[in-house]
Amino acid sequence: MTAYIVVSLVSGITFGFLDALINANPLARKLYEVYKPIAKTSLNMPAGIVIDIVYGFIMAGIFLLLYKGLPGDTGLVKGLSFAVLAWFFRVAMSTASSWMMFKIPVRTLLYTLFTGLGEMLILGLIYGVFLKP
């Protein structure tokens, strides 16, 4: 239980840090200008931090629930399998929907896909290495 709490907190904080890194860098700011007309002008940082920590607990819990059914013989491979699964449901499906509904440049969509994959792989590695049922 202690490992779950620690890993959940670490992954939630990592989630927030990676989101900030992915979305606030100069390249992202340029690519995401397409969202400027509908984007908020300020962010509620405390709420964002709490949300990312909650996501860390939820994702760690789901990883543990799915652990035995994930492909792979080691925790590391299971973590990477979980990362690809999470990426598909969180990032790929959202990006495909955005592509179908909005006029968003392909470069922006590809940036979202690849940075989202990197983020999920890092989180999957954390879960796979440090969490066991």
Listed by start position, the domains of the chain span 2-130
* Contact residues for 28 (Cβ-Cβ < 8 A; gap 6+): 22, 111, 115
| Residue ranges, the chain, pLDDT below 70 | none
User: What's the Cα-to-Cα distance from 76 to each of 5, 107, 108, 127, 130, rounded to whole Å?
Assistant: 19, 31, 30, 8, 9
Helix (H, G, I), strand (E, B) or coil at 133: coil
Q: At which residue do the structure tokens 């992202």 appear? A: 28
Q: Which long-range contacts (CB under 8 A, 24 or more apart) does 89-96 make?
A: 90/116, 90/120, 91/116, 91/117, 91/120, 92/116
pLDDT score recorded for residue 42 = 87
